[in-house]
Structure 1
Amino acid sequence: MSSTSPTPPGSVERLPRADGRIFLVTGGNAGIGYFVAEQLSTTGATVVLGSRNPAKADVARASIRARVPGAQVRTVQLDLADLSSLEAAVQALDVDRLDAVVHNAGVALDDPPRRETGDGHELMFGTNHLGHFALTHCLMPLLSAAPAARIVTTGSFAAKTERLDLDDLESREDYRPKRTYGRSKLAQMYFGLELDRRLRAVGSTVTSVVVHPGGALDSLTPSRPPVHVRTTGALILKAPAGLLLQGKHAGAWPAVRAVLDPAVRGGELWGPRVFGLRGRPRREPVWSHLTDATAAARLWDATCDMTGVDVGLGVDLG
């Protein structure tokens, strides 16, 4: 992706231009997704906020336009928990190509009980992993129509200590919210890496990159009222937490770099520079458990069975 700016592509202060490009950010109405969208909008690209809640998406779009003069921001209703709705959502994009998608949206439940999507899947696994897998299937024609599109999957540092239970992917036998969340994000990361292997095998021009935001806290995130308002209590916590962690605006940096930097390659993992928790984005070694190609292939096959689609092949298995 070329730039007329002398600033290096990895700069977080001044991003390279991306005029004429089209980027979709799932969950772009809040949290890290909002800041990914805000930062990408400074490049001259058209940024589409994918959100389950149209009212919240409209508020986020207005916030970005107020902060970024001339920002080209659109919204599309997107409910990753409803697999049958995704094809219509992609049609609603009304574009002939897509230069990048950032798979950012996610559900995190802190307390029991276990919940399910309308399709009968555990809510976090169904939304975070299955929804993005099925969405990628729907988006592949648009991504393939771009010269060198990128699929950027946002994992989580919480996945680093988790391991998949391939016999209980949806936590039917043993449900613990924090562990189930971490495993849903781990599944996403496996997917992003396996997807790139499969895209390379068929000679696709589309590449897949995996990122994670490190430790991104609301208390360290700058206010974007009414999207995000940092409280007085949060300000008190800011100093000690800031030694090791960062705000969600900084948590967005790895994803933004993965979209824009021509030096980023498919199959790479990007995260914050300092202990993987804070700082400017850098390429880091793929975590050892994510290199298990057998587990990745088994997860892929199971995901195809659960969603009824196979990404990259253009095949509906239902």
Structure 2
Amino acid sequence: MSRPDTARPAWDVHRLPASTGRTFLVTGGNAGIGYFVAEQLAGTGAEVVLGSRDAAKAHAAMTAIRAQVPGARLRHLPLDLADLPSLAASAALAPAGLDAVVLNAGVLLDDPRRRETPQGHELTFATNHLGHFALTALLAPALAPDARIVTTGSFTAKSARLDFADLMSARDYRPKPAYVRSKLAQVLTGFELDRRLRAAGSAVRSVVVHPGGALDGLTPSRPPVHAGRSPHVLPAGLLLHGKHAGAWSAVRAVLDPDVRGGELWGPRVAGMRGRPRRERVRGPFADLDAAAQLWAISADLTGTDPDFPSTAGHRDPRA
């Protein structure tokens, strides 16, 4: 993790390497940052699978992507991360040999009322963290030997802490803090996953990214998915960027052969805007004890435990 960025070849977010013959899954690929991750990956010639619980929204996103990338190879995977029992069926429908999975989908609820899934889990934590944890375990047999698992975290989680006595926010539920804690849980799990993959001798790599400050008002139009930029937020462009730019870190984590497992990538300018760069893993993100404890609890709550076979005989050129 101490490699300087100068050791990497120049990376151009507008000239991505060809990925013909590869297959990528993007959860939440029908909207927001996930949509632009899917669009940019589709532009490389790869087949992109949009994981979404709403088929109509997924097909609208595919229409928008094809308007930007004629001939884009796309498909929809029914996926409801808040419904744990349904995930096995979704994983069974995933194409074999996935070269990357971008764990991007997430919810930030406006409703001040605390909501639960049918399994009794707080909805934000269940959707953003537990659903992705279980999906990762269930997709393990469908991954290519040198696949990438890319977890989309949030810069807001850098100052968060998990309360292991109240992971489901039963005592003090507020929508924004619940969201931030769920993103911290995703980040910790992404790093813990890579440690476990390395210990198992697997060539699969887990990378964590965050989009910085990505605003709808700075995002280009993609009808019918997104209406386009707003002149009322133009000053914010000095500090933040649009969701198309927020996708760059995840796209680089999928495509750049120099990106390694266990790394954190985010925007270059103060971690808030600009082209992606590697960041130091520190603070709450580097809490090994919290990550291990969270993993054990997540495995118990979901009844799954991501397990990848050793691929010691397979040389990963990107490792």
Q: Same fold (TM over 0.5)?
A: yes
Q: Deviations over 1:33-56 (max 9, x none)?
A: 000000000111100000010000
Q: Deviations over 1:74-98 (max 9, x none)?
A: 11110000111111112222x2211
SS in 1 for 2:60: helix
Cα deviation, residue 289, structure 1: 1.5
* Aligned counterparts, 1:1-318, within 5 A: 10-93=11-94, 95-143=95-143, 146-230=144-228, 234-238=230-234, 240-312=235-307
TM-score by length of 1: 0.92
Provide closer, same or farther for how the CA distance between residues 193 and 118 of structure 1 changes in structure 2, counting only shifts above 3 A.
Answer: same
Q: Deviations over 1:200-239 (max 9, x none)?
A: 00001110000000000000000101100036xx22222x
- Bigger Cα displacement from structure 2, 121-130 vs 60-69: 60-69
Q: Deviations over 1:228-271 (max 9, x none)?
A: 0036xx22222x10010000000000000000001000000000
- Bigger Cα displacement from structure 2, 63-72 vs 123-132: 63-72
Distance 1:27 1:289 in 2: 26
Distance 1:287 1:245 in 2: 23
Distance 1:138 1:59 in 2: 27
Residue identity opposite 1:277 in structure 2: M
TM-score by length of 2: 0.92
Over the matched positions of the two proteins, sequence identity in percent amounts to: 68
Distance 1:313 1:283 in 2: 26
Cα deviation, residue 172, structure 1: 0.8
Q: Aligned pairs, how many?
A: 301
Aligned to 2:6: none
Q: Deviations over 1:1-47 (max 9, x none)?
A: xxxxxxx5721011001111000000000000000000000111100
Distance 1:102 1:170 in 2: 24
Cα deviation, residue 313, structure 1: 5.7
Provide closer, same or farther for how the CA distance between residues 9 and 87 of structure 1 changes in structure 2, counting only shifts above 3 A.
Answer: farther
Distance 1:118 1:72 in 2: 35
Residue identity opposite 1:165 in structure 2: D
Distance 2:70 2:56 in 1: 22
Distance 2:135 2:272 in 1: 29
Contact 1:9–1:260 (Cα < 8 Å) also in 2: no
Provide closer, same or farther for how the CA distance between residues 71 and 179 of structure 1 changes in structure 2, counting only shifts above 3 A.
Answer: same
Distance 1:47 1:103 in 2: 13
Distance 1:271 1:313 in 2: 27
SS in 2 for 1:309: coil
Q: Which runs of 5+ in 2 are unaligned?
A: 1-8, 310-319
Residue identity opposite 2:97 in structure 1: R
Residue identity opposite 1:131 in structure 2: G
Residue identity opposite 2:180 in structure 1: G
Contact 2:83–2:117 (Cα < 8 Å) also in 1: yes
Q: Deviations over 1:264-313 (max 9, x none)?
A: 00000000000000000000001321111111100001101110111116
Contact 1:9–1:15 (Cα < 8 Å) also in 2: no
Aligned to 1:5: none
Contact 2:158–2:283 (Cα < 8 Å) also in 1: no
